[in-house]
Amino acid sequence: MERKKTRHFDKDFKISAVKMASEEGSSIAEVARSLGITPTLLYNWKKKYADDGNKAFIGKGHLTELAALRKKLRRSELENEILKKAVGIFSKEDQDGLDL
């Protein structure tokens, strides 16, 4: 039996779908069919958007941003360690009486 591939939708897509179903007077089933999603999924998105507003659907968009910030932090920490070692090496050479 073949499993369906899980699809992921970004925040903008979800909000657009909810607005299409709410504002344009189309039924949820029509909007869902036109977008290639299930009506149940659209109902869930609509409920979540009604409960949380623009704070709904934080999902992976924020995680990507968080991952980029973590990567930048790791790089900065490594650069800091390298600079600390360099200062240690140069201060040791100064103490040994070497001219730089």
> What is the DSSP-derived secondary structure letter of residue 7?
P
At residue 22, the pLDDT reads: 84
CATH architecture of 11-57: Orthogonal Bundle (1.10)
Could you give the 3-state DSSP secondary structure of residue 100? coil
Average pLDDT over residues 52-68: 73
Q: Mean pLDDT over all residues of the chain? A: 83
Give the 3-state secondary structure of 9-65: CCHHHHHHHHHHHHHCCCCHHHHHHHHCCCHHHHHHHHHHHHHHHHHCCCHHHHHHH
Q: Residue 2: is its pLDDT beyond 80?
A: no
| In the chain, domain spans | 11-57, 68-100
Q: Residue 33: is its pLDDT beyond 70?
A: yes
CB-based contact 39:28 (threshold 8 Å): yes
